[in-house]
Amino acid sequence: MRVPKRLVELKQRVEPTVKTFEWTWTTAVVFCVGLWFFILIFAVVVPSFWMYFAEQKLGWAGPSGGGSWALEIRDAIALGLSTGPLLTIVVAAVIMQNWRKRLRGVSAERPTGGYR
């Protein structure tokens, strides 16, 4: 599969920033406050809105486990809406960390450590 030329150019423009970026206390705190709001919105508000929408507009009201597939689907969608963003954050952090290590010439593998 060929990568589009625009994505290659974008990657080449971003790589120097990724390679040289260092966290300061200020940037870390500001980032964490923004991340907290992101998690609050996407892990609490969006699934709650979905539950209200499903119960009031779609008529999928009541406790799940009663044999109705609509209620099970409603709960599965709410679970996906609350856990999806959190898993995305974790996966993106791992990918960015390994990319940064590779750009700096450090192995992305974990060190074995210990005494020899």
Domain ranges across the chain: 5-103
Which are the contacts of 108, defined by CB distance < 8 A and separation ≥ 6? Answer: 98, 101, 102
Enter the pTM of the model.
0.71
For 47-88, how does the pLDDT look when each residue is reduced to its tens digit (9 = 90+)? 999 999 999 998 888 877 667 788 889 999 999 999 999 999
First to last CA, the chain: 44
For 32-54, how does the pLDDT look when each residue is reduced to its tens digit (9 = 90+)? 999 999 999 998 999 999 999 99
Instruction: Provide the pLDDT confidence category of residue 112 given band limits of 50, 70 and 90.
Output: low
Residue 29 CA to residue 13 CA, distance in Å, equals 26
What share of the chain has pLDDT > 70, as a percent? 89
